[in-house]
Amino acid sequence: MQVTATDASTSDKEAPPPPPPATIAFEGVHGRNPLADASFGAMCRRLPSVLGHTARMAWAVDRTGVVLLLACQLLTGAAAAVVLAFTAQAMTHLLGTGAVSERLHAAMPALVVVATAAGIGRISSALSSYADTRITPLLMTEADITLVAAVCRVEASAYGEDGFADQQEAAEVGVTRTRTMLQDAQRFMSALIRMVAASGVITTLHPLMLPLLLLAVLPAGVGAVLSARIDYETHYLNVGDRNVRSMMRWWATYSRYGDEVRANGMTGYLIYWYRALSDRVDQRTLTAAPRMLRIVLATSALGGLFLLGTWATLAWLATTGRVALPIAATAIVAVQTTLAALSQFVIHGAAMFHTSLYLADMRSFLDMASRRAPKRGDLEIPPRVEEICLDEVVYRYPGKDDPAVAGVSLTLRRGEILAIVGENGSGKSTLAKLITGILLSDKGRVLWDGIDLAHADPDAVWKRTALVPQNFACWPLRTRENITLGQPHTYDDGPVWDVVDAVGMREAIEKLPQQLDTLLAKELWGGAELSGGQWQRLVCGRALYRQTPLLILDEPTSQMDARGEHGIFLEIRRIAAQRMTIVVTHQLENTRLADRILVMDKGQVIEQGTYEDLVNGGGLFAELAALAKDR
């Protein structure tokens, strides 16, 4: 095949404009706007359950804080009621007949009660803010950890399902909104209590006043709910784009990929891409803004009209003598208090409705994650496993037409080294994931000493496996944890240094500023960085440290120098007798150490045997081995 090269330095002039970011038209099972089938009524009915969930979470993280918060809310409300009731009493005396000093004297006890209640109200309101400050961070951490744990626990196959990532993104917004939820709920409750207290007083002044005040604030509430729906609709439309944008942001700015970005001239396009996607997100938000403005203007005008009506009614009641002057004066204070409480009640009720939309996303993701958590069975796997059998195993990734593994049967015995080879995409890594139970087969069975992995406790299985994956993680942890991660704690570093020696890393680690205590993340202060091959050696060390009955190495030496690779394979052979070892590799020379080699093609095993059998067998293995030598 002849490749026509493009000269990057001269091709700028005739280059077509860069393509905009792909549009994500998401139509999977989860790709439904929850608002489309959630009416205002339905959302209001869901509100108590969302509130209840927040309350339960708050109760679990800080009982004292919750009790303090509730007690202070009640106290604030009671204080407001006392202030109003005694203001009415004081007014009656102050605006009554007689000398000013006598009227003042008569009003004094009521005024003292008003001042004391107002003071208590302020103190309890400050204490409830304190309780809120105590609970909120704990609540957010709890929600965040619940989400992280749920994602870590789902079946690995769930990651590939339609909408999983977008639902996760929506749920993460829910986590940040947990903070607002507590504040909204607290303000809503406090407004409710103050409103009940104030409306009791105002109704005693005149029965017409309360309905009039309600009318005055209702338009603002309706406006807030309608705006909340529009805001959420926009948020929902943006979920997919925001998800991709945050992934790209991480990839573009992560120091590990910085060389590739720079030396391949990607910066310009990446920034263009990022801006184009951000513009698309902003555009949706801007389109919604005039609709929101119209709603706010209309509902404010209506609310203003109703408020004018309330004041006019009060003036009419006072001038026509339907209420006495002292009562009218109290009514002015009561109207102000009730109005403030009512608007807070309506505004925070709408805000809670708004937040609950996001929290409902978090809940539905958590529900989905718990449905997708492994439910396999509780069979234990013994510490010593003699045999793993695969019986006509088939696996197809979600959304794919062809199975990645299409009917593989094999038996692997303790002490055996099995190599799996084949061209890209032939199903080697998928087969490894099926053998370890990371994926469960759609058809057929994987048996560990007769125990079907579909009925075994997955943690019990993974206690017996060690895997060097093709794409491994370079954890920003200390060197020691990078080796012992996933292991029970040990009291001395002896076993850690043993594997460090086994993978030939002693010299490199001894040169690190704090040896095993060095943080392996250059981007963090005090951290150090390893080379690609050194990282891969460390990852092999991590798997060797586990000393499990099954060891799987998927392309374990792809970044290593010849000495490193030689050392790793020597070590694999040295420890092979106590376990089953599987090596997935494209370096066919490395398969010489295997007792048996499987050659995979299109998800099936098409050849198997020793290196000598296969290299002389005239099949795919022989062809690939010849290609490897043809330079």
Ligand X SMILES: Nc1ncnc2c1ncn2[C@@H]1O[C@H](COP(=O)(O)OP(=O)(O)OP(=O)(O)O)[C@@H](O)[C@H]1O
Residue 127 makes CB contacts below 8 A (sequence gap 6+) with 68, 72
Closest distance of CB 428 from ligand X, Å: 4
Binders of ligand X in range 326-365 (CB under 6 A)? none
Nearer to ligand X, 136 or 430 (CB): 430
Closest distance of CB 379 from ligand X, Å: 26
Using CB under 6 A as the binding rule, whether residue 21 contacts ligand X is answered as no
Round to whole Å and give the CA distance between 118 and 111.
10
User: Residue 461: which of 469, 471, 449 has the closest Cα?
Assistant: 449
Q: What letter would DSSP give residue 556? A: T
Nearer to ligand X, 166 or 481 (CB): 166
Q: Which stretch binds ligand X (CB under 6 A): 107-115, 164-172, 326-334, 420-428?
A: 420-428
Phi, psi of 456 (to 5 degrees): -95, 150
Among 121, 223, 349, 422, binds ligand X (CB under 6 A): 422
Using CB under 6 A as the binding rule, whether residue 585 contacts ligand X is answered as no
Q: Is 539 helix (H, G, I), strand (E, B) or coil?
A: helix
Using CB under 6 A as the binding rule, whether residue 320 contacts ligand X is answered as no
Using CB under 6 A as the binding rule, whether residue 627 contacts ligand X is answered as no
Among 53, 428, 542, 596, binds ligand X (CB under 6 A): 428
Using CB under 6 A as the binding rule, whether residue 223 contacts ligand X is answered as no
Using CB under 6 A as the binding rule, whether residue 427 contacts ligand X is answered as yes
Nearer to ligand X, 313 or 604 (CB): 604
Cα-based angle 563, 567, 572 (whole degrees, multiple of 5): 150
Cα-based angle 238, 243, 246 (whole degrees, multiple of 5): 120
The DSSP-derived string for 190-207 is: HHHHHHHHHHHHHHHH-T
Residue pair 163/30 in contact (Cβ under 8 Å)? The answer is yes
Binders of ligand X in range 115-174 (CB under 6 A)? 160
Q: Which stretch binds ligand X (CB under 6 A): 37-45, 81-89, 422-430, 446-454?
A: 422-430
Burial 221-242 (b: 16+ CB within 10 A, else e): bbbbbbbbbbbbbbbbbbbbbb
Closest distance of CB 453 from ligand X, Å: 18
Q: Which stretch binds ligand X (CB under 6 A): 209-217, 248-256, 319-327, 421-429?
A: 421-429
Closest distance of CB 22 from ligand X, Å: 18
Burial 164-173 (b: 16+ CB within 10 A, else e): bbbbbbbbbb
Q: How far is CA 342 from CA 127, 211, 325, in A?
A: 22, 11, 25
User: Residue 357: which of 171, 582, 129, 130 has the closest Cα?
Assistant: 171
Q: How far is CA 385 from CA 372, 450, 551, in A?
A: 28, 10, 12
Using CB under 6 A as the binding rule, whether residue 404 contacts ligand X is answered as yes
Using CB under 6 A as the binding rule, whether residue 479 contacts ligand X is answered as no
Q: Which stretch binds ligand X (CB under 6 A): 38-46, 70-78, 261-269, 418-426?
A: 418-426
Binders of ligand X in range 451-470 (CB under 6 A)? 470
Using CB under 6 A as the binding rule, whether residue 556 contacts ligand X is answered as no
Q: How far is CA 245 from CA 167, 272, 279, 282, 394, in A?
A: 15, 12, 11, 13, 35
Nearer to ligand X, 435 or 460 (CB): 435
Using CB under 6 A as the binding rule, whether residue 430 contacts ligand X is answered as yes
Closest distance of CB 404 from ligand X, Å: 3
Nearer to ligand X, 86 or 395 (CB): 395
Using CB under 6 A as the binding rule, whether residue 425 contacts ligand X is answered as yes
Residue pair 51/185 in contact (Cβ under 8 Å)? The answer is yes
Using CB under 6 A as the binding rule, whether residue 397 contacts ligand X is answered as yes
Which residue shows structure tokens 């799987």? 552
For residues 515 to 554, the per-residue mask of contacts with ligand X, x marking binding by CB under 6 A and - elsewhere, is ----------------------------------------
Residue pair 470/429 in contact (Cβ under 8 Å)? The answer is yes
Residue pair 261/248 in contact (Cβ under 8 Å)? The answer is no
Among 89, 426, 479, 534, binds ligand X (CB under 6 A): 426
Closest distance of CB 602 from ligand X, Å: 9
Q: How many residues bind ligand X (CB under 6 A)?
A: 13
Site residues (vs ligand X, CB under 6 A): 160, 397, 400, 404, 422, 424-430, 470
